Structure 1
Amino acid sequence: MSMDDLMRTLDWMNVETTLQHAALASESCTGRTLGADREPLWVEGTKSSPVANTIPEELPAPKEEISVIPRTNWEPSISCFPDAQAINASIVKRELVEEGKRCVRQQLKVLKDRQDARRLSRESQQKQEEHQLQQKALRERNEILLNQKADQMTKVQLEAQQREQLALRQQTDQKLHKLALEGVSRCQRRFNQKYEGIARILLSLDKETVQVCSTQNTQLKELGQKFEQLVSTVKMGKCEMQSQFLCSIIKAEECCRSLDALELDIIKQLAEFSEQIQQQLKQEADKKLEEERQRQLAEEEKEKQRQQKEASEAKAKQQQAEAAKAEPVQVQAAPEPKSQDVPPAAATTAATTASTCVHPDRLKFYNDIISLYQSKVDAVKPLQTEESLKQYRTGCQRAINLPLNAISAVSPQHLGQNFDKLYSFFAGQPVKVMNGSTITINDHPLARDYCMLLMAKKFVSQSETAISSNPQAAFPFASVIITFWKLLPDFGKIFLAYMYKESPFLVPYVIPQQQGQTPEQYLKTIGYRLSDKNELEKPDIYLKRQTGVARLYAAVIITQGRKAAGPDECFELNEGWLWLAHMVRVKPIPDISATMIMEMLQTLGFELWRSYGKQFMKLLIYIQNIYMPQLAAHDEGGPKTRLEMLLAKFLRERQIPQAIGVLPPGFW
């Protein structure tokens, strides 16, 4: 039951009590007891304290039960008043009831206050809880926002770090790619040179000999395809991992080593096959010698029998003559040999010693060339050492180097334009330099010799850079050299001086080692160079340079110059014949002798065979049968084996192919 229901119940009890009291009082009253015109009633025994008429008014009865009593105007009597004690008792009772009501009201009020307090407490608690929930929700929302913000910041930082890592990786990949390209390019140069050398060996062989190296030929093709694929992969940068860049360098090195091993295998296979051929040739030669010896023995036997028969016939005739004549026959003594028919031993020894190093005619030619060169060098020293002429020297170098480096056989016009630039400078035409000013070769009296020395040296240096790796490049350079040689005769001699200084084997001159000379000093005299660290270059690099020099020298011998320069030949084919004939008479040097002869034969062989025919064939047979055994006593390397195979091919096929890249007559 709620508090309101309880209050309504109490009110209803109060009304009911009042009605009960009114009903009791109405039984003793006959008239009106209250009003302004009525005196108060005094209860007996209580005169001093009047008792108020507390009889409640009569409650209206229900219409069904209560009837209206007509009022009459009569005076009440004392007997109609109720008893005072009863009234007092009712008053006390009423007061007690009121007191009880007050107590109940107070209690109810206290209960209500408590309930209100509890309600307020609950409401405040609810509000507090709601506030806490709101605070919690706010904190959660803030936390979510903070987490989202932190996630965004983390994502941004992560993306930035990823971009930095990606950029760093790309930069690292670029560096590794560059290193891989450099490493693979170095290996590619080695691989291409070795591959070209092996290919030249295989191409120089006949079909029968190539079949011997069929397995190595297949391996060579597979290795070339593998290396090309590796190079294309590195160039495209198709390496998913950084370690693959370094692996590509290792793979390139492995390919080079595999190619070296393949070359040794081919050389070994060819050497074995060459040895078999040599044995067969030797057996055939021995068989022919045996047949020749048997024939000679038979002829000697016949001659002996004929002589014996003639002697017996002569003896018989002599006996007949002695019997016929009495005087003895005088026999004339045989004439003694003249002293001049036998050469002195000292002269023979000196001639043999000289021929092992250089032929006297070639030595004289070499000394004349070097003397002219040295005189030119001494003459231009004032121009070379003058500090104030440094800019002029730089301009001269630029006027020569730019067109000379551009020389190639792309077209006759291209070759002619570069030659015209060089020759116009020597003709005195002005040439622009870097600062916009112009110079001429006539600005200094020593400039012509200086520029001639400079140009000859530059042409020789091309044998080291362009020609050693590309044999076809020798012919356009040789054509320009021959043209300048016709127009400037001293230039040709200076060019030869630089060639002989670079390789004295072109004389041919095998410079002997002097007494007390160290091996390093001797190697420098035959063309070895010193590095920046004062170390001698490696033999393979030295042989590569000598190969380029031999190719250029041979190209100059067989190449014609510009038609407009004149028909005179300044360095003809007989120079190649003389060189080859003298080279096989001097002392063999390991590797270099075989390399020079092979390069000369590959470049000059076609022209020499066409011009000298059987004489050249005899020279090749001499090289194979006489010179190669002498060379084998000093040399067992790859160049010697390659030369043997080349000679065997030429002699077996009876023809020599023309060198690739030779310029046709009247090219420009």
Structure 2
Amino acid sequence: MDENIKKPIGEVSQKLKMLILEMEDITKKCKTSVSNVEVQKSTDLLAQMVVLKDEVQKIIIDYNKQKEIHLKEQQNKLVKEMQSNLSAATSISKQEPSTPENISIAKIDKFVSKASFRIYSEMQGFLLNHQKTYTDLLADQNLKQFKFDCKKAVNIPVNAISAVNSNHLQDKYIKLSNLLAGKPVPVGESQMSAAKHPQGIAYCMDLLAKKFILQGDLTISSNPEAAFCYGTIILSLWNECPDLGKLLLAHFHKQCPYLVPIHLPKAIGETDEDYYTSLGYQYVDGVVEKQDKFLKRMTGIMRLYSAIIISKPKKSQKGLNPHGLTQGWRWLTATLNLEPKTDITATLIHVFLETAGCTMQNVYKNEFKKIIAFIITVYMPMLKKIDSGGPYTRLEVLLQEYQSKGQFFEPSGILPATYW
């Protein structure tokens, strides 16, 4: 246990032990007779225990807040360092000859391209600023029910999204659209409106963005076809609310920074847990998740992202995709310009090509063929030097099928543009 929480918790624990001993003493006395003195004393002891419980809760809340602040400071520090290095690299690239110091600074290109890093910085900055807009709501203990209703108003329709039929999809979209517009929406047998609190809509918008990314982890990783009904709903809401799209991208990047793509380096003094968490790994009781579980989650998140890129919104929005194929092209080429990473690079390229490859080849034609030829002849040998496991093999098989058939095939579950 962290010393910052171990000591105060230990002090409360000692107080609690003393109270328990006193209560046991009263209990023994009450076995023979019960007087008003014992009744009053036991009441006082119980009240003191309640105070200690509240004290423990406050210690934990304060500790979690400080931990979150520390993590954000670490992230901001890394962002500033990388921004500084990128500026220096841009300046140095115009100077000759290169010195060892210049080469060291220019190594930032190993981690991220300047264009990708600009997107990453903008989205993370937007997320931080957005979350500041509803801090008062989070801090108000009198609004627990309202916050609970907000979560239900997000979770219930999102959990129910499926391609059962167009009316079902339309119903879930309307509920979420109304929620973000501040209109009354059903929550169980009653109704609620996010607009009842001035920060309610901002809060619900962030909840919704996080929930969509979580569905990639929990649902789409096990049911790939579900990616497309989520994709079309997301695009339809994104067209109505551009800020939701920015929050989605920010949370995509937080959960899987390889979607930027950015290969985050380990900062000096950074713990393994903080570092691996920044890469998208989850920890339970201080133990990092297994690699196969991590890759499965990343597969679901990437499949959702890829589905968004190739999907269409509802018919009335006339096919407008605010994050379409150009973003898929940008991600793929940016990824191929970075050094590959074991397991994760092969996994994400495989899922992307499996999901979006057919649409990409139909639109970009010969240019896309050149990209695939580069992957087969140049990138795969690079990848093989560091990766020969399952992810590499699955990508290799997919590319062999492409060479044999001359194309990628349309993924199962994709919805027609006229579906709803």
TM-score (norm 2): 0.74
Q: How far apart are 1:433 and its partner, in Å?
A: 4.1
**Structure 1 partner of 2:256:** 503
> Which among 319, 325, 337 is matched to residue 573 of structure 1?
325
**Structure 1 partner of 2:349:** 597
Distance 2:258 2:414 in 1: 24
1:145-198 deviation digits (Å, cap 9, x = unpaired): xxxxxxxxxxxxxxxxxxxxxxxxxxxxxxxxxxxxxxxxxxxxxxxxxxxxxx
> Which among 558, 561, 565 is matched to residue 313 of structure 2?
561
Matched to 1:574, the amino acid is: T
**Alignment of 1:405 onto 2:159:** yes
Contact 2:181/2:201, CA 8 A, preserved across alignment: no
**Alignment of 1:369 onto 2:119:** no
1:406-425 deviation digits (Å, cap 9, x = unpaired): 11111111100111122122
Query: Where in structure 1 do 4 or more consecutive aligned residues deviate above 4 Å?
Result: 340-343
Matched to 2:137, the amino acid is: L
Distance 1:634 1:409 in 2: 40
Q: How far apart are 1:515 and its partner, in Å?
A: 2.7
- Superposed, 1:153-232 pairs within 5 Å as none
**Structure 2 partner of 1:354:** 108
1:336-386 deviation digits (Å, cap 9, x = unpaired): xxxx99954259836852321111011001100010011111221111121
Compared CA separation, residues 377 and 341, structure 1 to 2 (3 A): closer
Q: Which has the higher contact order (CA 8 A, sep 6+)?
A: 2
Contact 2:228/2:307, CA 8 A, preserved across alignment: yes
Distance 1:412 1:474 in 2: 16
Matched to 2:183, the amino acid is: Q
**Structure 1 partner of 2:234:** 481
1:117-137 deviation digits (Å, cap 9, x = unpaired): xxxxxxxxxxxxxxxxxxxxx
Contact 2:185/2:192, CA 8 A, preserved across alignment: yes
**Alignment of 1:540 onto 2:292:** yes
**Structure 1 partner of 2:132:** 378
> Which among 395, 408, 415 is matched to residue 169 of structure 2?
415
Q: How far apart are 1:524 and its partner, in Å?
A: 1.5
Aligned residues: 327
**Structure 2 partner of 1:638:** 390
Compared CA separation, residues 617 and 387, structure 1 to 2 (3 A): same
Distance 1:649 1:473 in 2: 24
In terms of Rg, which structure is larger?
1
1:101-126 deviation digits (Å, cap 9, x = unpaired): xxxxxxxxxxxxxxxxxxxxxxxxxx
Contact 2:179/2:201, CA 8 A, preserved across alignment: no
Contact 2:343/2:387, CA 8 A, preserved across alignment: yes
**Alignment of 1:655 onto 2:407:** yes
3-state SS of 2:287 partner = coil
Contact 2:137/2:200, CA 8 A, preserved across alignment: yes
Compared CA separation, residues 650 and 403, structure 1 to 2 (3 A): same
Compared CA separation, residues 350 and 615, structure 1 to 2 (3 A): farther
Contact 2:237/2:244, CA 8 A, preserved across alignment: yes
1:419-439 deviation digits (Å, cap 9, x = unpaired): 1122122233223445x6542
**Structure 1 partner of 2:142:** 388
> Which among 447, 450, 471 is matched to residue 200 of structure 2?
447
**Alignment of 1:526 onto 2:255:** no
1:500-559 deviation digits (Å, cap 9, x = unpaired): 10000001111112233344332111011111x221111111000000000000000000
- Superposed, 1:38-187 pairs within 5 Å as none
Distance 2:215 2:280 in 1: 16
Distance 1:377 1:600 in 2: 30
Distance 1:616 1:351 in 2: 33
**Structure 1 partner of 2:178:** 424
Distance 1:470 1:626 in 2: 32
1:445-480 deviation digits (Å, cap 9, x = unpaired): 111110000111111111111100111000000101
Distance 1:433 1:553 in 2: 29
- Over the aligned positions, Cα root-mean-square deviation in angstroms equals 2.0
Matched to 1:582, the amino acid is: A
**Alignment of 1:472 onto 2:228:** no
Q: How far apart are 1:566 and its partner, in Å?
A: 4.9
Distance 1:489 1:364 in 2: 18
**Structure 2 partner of 1:115:** none
**Structure 1 partner of 2:13:** none
Matched to 2:240, the amino acid is: L
Moved more, 402-411 or 639-648: 639-648
**Structure 1 partner of 2:212:** 459
**Structure 1 partner of 2:86:** none
Distance 1:548 1:589 in 2: 19
3-state SS of 2:413 partner = coil
Matched to 2:369, the amino acid is: M
Distance 1:637 1:597 in 2: 15
1:27-56 deviation digits (Å, cap 9, x = unpaired): xxxxxxxxxxxxxxxxxxxxxxxxxxxxxx
Gaps of 5+ in 2: 1-92
Compared CA separation, residues 566 and 448, structure 1 to 2 (3 A): farther
Q: How far apart are 1:636 and its partner, in Å?
A: 1.9
Compared CA separation, residues 619 and 439, structure 1 to 2 (3 A): same
Q: How far apart are 1:569 and its partner, in Å?
A: 2.6
Contact 1:464/1:545, CA 8 A, preserved across alignment: yes
